[in-house]
Amino acid sequence: MTEKNLLELLRGYKNNTVEEGEILTRLKNLPLDAVEKIGFANIDHNRELRQGFPEVIYAAGKTKEQVKEIFKRLYERSEGNLIATRASREKFEYLAPEIPAAQYSDAAQMIYLDRKKIVRDESRTILILTAGTSDLPVAEEARLTAYLFGNAVKIFHDCGVAGIHRLFAHMRDIESASVIIVVAGMEGALASVVGGLTDKPIIAVPTSVGYGASFNGIAALLAMLNSCAAGVSVVNIDNGFGAAVAASKMVKLGVRS
């Protein structure tokens, strides 16, 4: 059930077009109706009502048939934007004929549906900074997720500590942002630098970019976890999606307050 469905039900009861018994039955069955069991997946159709966004599909490890079936059922029973992360172009091309409005981002490796008309508040912006161009795929996953969640987003690439002057060119945007996502591989130092320049919440995303001793992102992860800049939060390696969702929730808290 979407928020729209629930409001229609309550308005119907208020206007005496829906009987009390029907309201009671629908609300009693709400937890059961929310889960659609299709054998290989249990789809949570109440995620949008509870959290404001439909269930997101993690496409890695799923077959193209499974991704298409889950995406199709979410499409039919939700109203918001849809996302399938870590998806290949092959999986997108398999479902595209059935859902023509779906789109694909090669950079973010994401299948998505941008169908909800959202007026984005430019005064509450999520800023994404990447240390290097090699961090682009993770940063794009964060950028597109944050955008589809209804946020105004800015992104600047290749402003890591190897050329620190490139970061300072973005100080005005750093000062005006609501939340900052810092995406960095190698030694992951950019998060600490940005954390020392602003009072805004910093979400650090370590990436698996780097030579041998970077250990596929573990070096950057440990550096960010041990940051001497107070208030830097850290998500998992390459988890641009998780960082964007956390940033979106922070922005919404600011709107409510």
CA distances, 32 to each of 7, 29, 52 (Å): 19, 5, 19
In this structure, what DSSP letter does residue 56 have?
A: P
* Residues 110 and 131 reside in one and the same domain: no
64, 91, 117 — which closes off a domain? 117
108 and 132 co-located in one domain:
no
Provide the CATH number for the domain around residue 251.
3.40.50.1970
**Residue entry with tokens 């004929």:** 97
* Residue, of 26 and 233, whose pLDDT is higher: 233
Contacts of 38 (CB under 8 A, 6+ apart): 69, 70, 73
- Count: domains in the chain: 2
Domain end residue (candidates: 69, 84, 117): 117
Domain span including residue 164:
125-256
- Residue 23 included in any domain: no
Whole-angstrom distance, CA of residue 166 vs CA of residue 116: 36
**Which residue shows structure tokens 């859902």?**
99
Same domain, 207 and 177: yes
Distance CA 195, CA 201 (A): 8
Q: Are residues 129 and 110 in the same domain?
A: no
Encode pLDDT of 100-158 as tens digits. 999 999 999 999 999 888 888 888 999 999 999 999 999 999 999 999 999 999 999 99
What is the CA 84 to chain-centroid distance, rounded? 10
Give yes or no: residues 208 and 140 share one domain: yes
User: Which tens digits make up the pLDDT trace of 23-43?
Assistant: 666 665 565 557 888 899 988
